[in-house]
Amino acid sequence: MNLADFDPLSGKRCEILDHQGVIVAQELRPPGLTDELVLELYDRMVMLRVADQQALTLQRAGRMGTYAPTLGQEAANIGSAAVLQPGDWLVPSFRETGAMLLRGVPIKLIYMYWMGSEWGSHYPSEVKVLPICAPVSTQTLHGVGLAWAGKLKQDHTMTLIYFGDGATSKGDFHEAMNFAGVFTIPCVFFCQNNQYSISVPRRVQTAAASLAQKAVAYGFPGIMVDGNDLLAVYTVTAAAAARARAGEGPTLIEAQTYRLGPHTTADDPSRYRPLEELKAQEPYDPLRRLRIYLTQQGLITEDSEQDRVVKYEGMAKDAAREAEAAISLNPDDIFDYHYAQMPPYVAFQKEYLHRILAARGESAGG
Ligand SMILES: Cc1ncc(C[n+]2csc(CCOP(=O)(O)OP(=O)(O)O)c2C)c(N)n1
């Protein structure tokens, strides 16, 4: 596929598998994206949906602080991260549970993070994933820095940087895009446009007709893709990653998807999003279309589907138990991991907390 065929100013977006499970652009599909690979990635999408549901259950039972569900965004998560090669980096925002799982972050650690433990961000050293980033858009700059380091080392790796539609209104995003364009940085900016930034709909986020077209101003390609179409997401991200690895610079991908769940478990979307709007999105569910397609290819059956869900429910429950057994919340963790050497003002805050806890007869635990 040729990224240039999808000029973002034309309003054209890349689609390969439509929402009824029909292949509409076989010619765009790369040869490596076989039905076997589609099945494997579909399997990961099911795993993600089940792991997500388990997190909601934990939160509702008071066993997890909060959680940002990826419901509806499984194709955008999995289709994009699937193109990464061993040396590449993944830089998440906070709605990339699936992408992180695919790259080897254990689900237990992701649960620990949302349970409030800093140790949920300590990944195995071979896992090239940055920790979840709650401050909106700041990770876009970290990602460009990482990719720049790869360029200076001439290691031919690239960095996949995730963020939401709301993040495109932050200065960080524009600085990251400009720097990446000027210095031909080997990265892919992957925007999960799920149509909402908490309660703010996309239409009031920017006056631009698309988010992808913002790339034009920074001098590199931007492309719109159906973010609920696993095949299209994989195809455009693979093309953008190849461009980055070849030293041709960054690409901005706007994956148009829809957040079927709340912003986080602390949010009530019925206060700002009409129920009819949500209902109208159901046919576009990224798993549904793959189920139709893979059933027609004879690769899944109702029985195999049930087995898959049961297997992942067991996995998610085990991970939740292991996460709970592993956490011991220590207030010192709030201070200890921001800097290699703690600045005096942070040391002062830590000491201050210790004094407060001591006055209450409690201990910081470390
Ligand atoms: C710098 C900063 N400002 C505000 C917030 C509060 N906040 C958390 S998520 C969010 C919305 C992010 O929207 P978007 O970028 O579209 O991503 P989405 O949540 O839809 O995945 C906001 C405003 C924050 N975490 N960081």
Nearest CA to ligand 1 atom 21: 164
* CATH code for the domain of 237: 3.40.50.970
Ligand 1 centroid vs 191 CA: distance in angstroms?
13
Q: Which atom of ligand 1 is nearest to the CA of 193?
A: 16
Rounded CA separation 124/130 (Å): 11
CA of 167 to the centre of ligand 1 (A): 7
Active-site choice (95, 142, 202, 263):
263
- The one-character DSSP state at 67 is -
pLDDT > 90 fraction of the chain, expressed in percent and rounded: 95
Distance CA 182, CA 174 (A): 12
Q: Whose CA is nearest to atom 19 of ligand 1?
A: 197
**Cβ-based neighbours of 221, under 8 Å, separated by 6 or more:** 3, 4, 215, 240, 243, 251, 252
pLDDT value of residue 365:
60
Q: Rounded to the nearest whole angstrom, what is the distance from the C-alpha of residue 91 to the centroid of ligand 1?
A: 16
Shared domain check, 251 and 349: no
* Mean of the per-residue pLDDT values of the chain: 96
Closest ligand 1 atom number to CA of residue 263:
19
272 given a catalytic annotation: yes
Per-residue pLDDT reduced to its tens digit, 192-221: 999 999 999 999 999 999 999 999 999 999
Active-site residue, selected from the candidate residues 60, 122, 272, 321: 272
The pTM of the full predicted model, rounded to 2 decimals, is: 0.96
- Structure token digits, residue 353: 């907390």
Instruction: For residue 159, report the phi and psi dihedrals to the nearest 5 degrees.
Output: -125, 130
Phi, psi of 187 (to 5 degrees): -140, 165
Instruction: For residues 63-78, give the mean pLDDT.
Output: 97
Which member of 202, 243, 259, 289 is catalytic?
A: 259
Task: List the residue whose alpha carbon is closest to atom 7 of ligand 1.
Answer: 136
Q: What is the pLDDT of residue 334?
A: 87
Sign of the alpha-carbon torsion through 239, 241, 246, 251: positive
Task: Indicate if 143 and 121 belong to the same structural domain.
Answer: yes
Q: Specify whether the CB–CB gap between 89 and 128 falls below 8 A.
A: yes
- Note whether 271 and 337 are same-domain residues: no
* Nearby residues of 130 by Cβ (< 8 Å), 6 or more positions away: 89, 90, 91, 92, 139, 142, 143, 146
Whether 358 and 273 share a structural domain: no
Residue 312 and residue 335 in one domain: no
301 by Cβ neighbours in 10 Å (0-12 / 13-18 / 19+) ranks as exposed
Q: Residue 18 and residue 15: Cα distance in Å, rounded?
A: 7
As beta bridge partners, residue 24 has none
Instruction: Specify whether 340 is located in the same domain as 288.
Output: no
Q: Which residue has its alpha carbon closest to ligand 1 atom 8? A: 136
Alpha-carbon distance 51 to 70, whole Å?
10
Asked whether residue 320 falls in the same domain as residue 304, the answer is: yes
d(Cα 207, Cα 326) in Å, to the nearest integer? 47
Whether residues 324 and 358 share a domain: the answer is: no
- Tokens, residue 188: 């892919």
Q: Cα of 106 to ligand 1 centre, how many Å?
A: 24
Length of the chain counted residue by residue: 366
In the chain, what's the furthest Cα-to-Cα distance? 70
Q: Is the pLDDT of residue 8 over 90?
A: yes
DSSP assignments along 278-321, one per residue: HHHHGGG-HHHHHHHHHHHTTS--HHHHHHHHHHHHHHHHHHHH
Q: How many of the other CB atoms lie within 10 Å of CB of 62?
A: 7
Domain containing 18: what range? 3-329
Listed in order, strand segments (DSSP E) in the chain are 13-14, 89-91, 159-164, 187-193, 196-197, 200-201, 222-226, 251-256
Q: Using CA atoms in the order 95, 70, 36, 157, what is the torsion angle rounded to 10 degrees?
A: -10
Q: Are residues 338 and 321 in the same domain?
A: no
Confidence of residue 366 (pLDDT cuts 50, 70, 90): very low
Q: What average pLDDT does this structure show over 161-184? A: 98
Task: Give distance in angstroms: CA of 38 to centre of ligand 1.
Answer: 31
Asked if residue 364 has pLDDT above 90, the reply is: no
Same domain, 106 and 229: yes
Strands (E) in 184-314, as ranges, are 187-193, 196-197, 200-201, 222-226, 251-256
- How confident is the model over 352-365, as a mean pLDDT? 87
The ligand 1 atom at the shortest distance from the C-alpha of residue 135 is 26
| pLDDT tens-digit series, residues 239-271 | 999 999 999 999 999 999 999 999 999 999 999
User: Same structural domain for residues 154 and 50?
Assistant: yes
Mean pLDDT of 56-83: 97
Name residues contacting ligand 1 (CB within 6 A).
Answer: 95, 134-136, 163-167, 194, 196-198, 263
The pLDDT value recorded for residue 119 is 92
Confidence of residue 186 (pLDDT cuts 50, 70, 90): very high
Q: Determine contact, residues 104/214, Cβ cutoff 8 Å.
A: no
Number of domain units in the chain: 2
Same domain, 316 and 339: no
Which position has the token pair 């209104």? 169
Pocket test for ligand 1, best of 142, 168, 197 (most atoms within 8 A of CB): 197
Rounded to the nearest angstrom, the distance between the alpha carbon of 134 and the centre of ligand 1 is 8
Torsion of CA 258, 263, 269, 272, to 10 degrees: -80
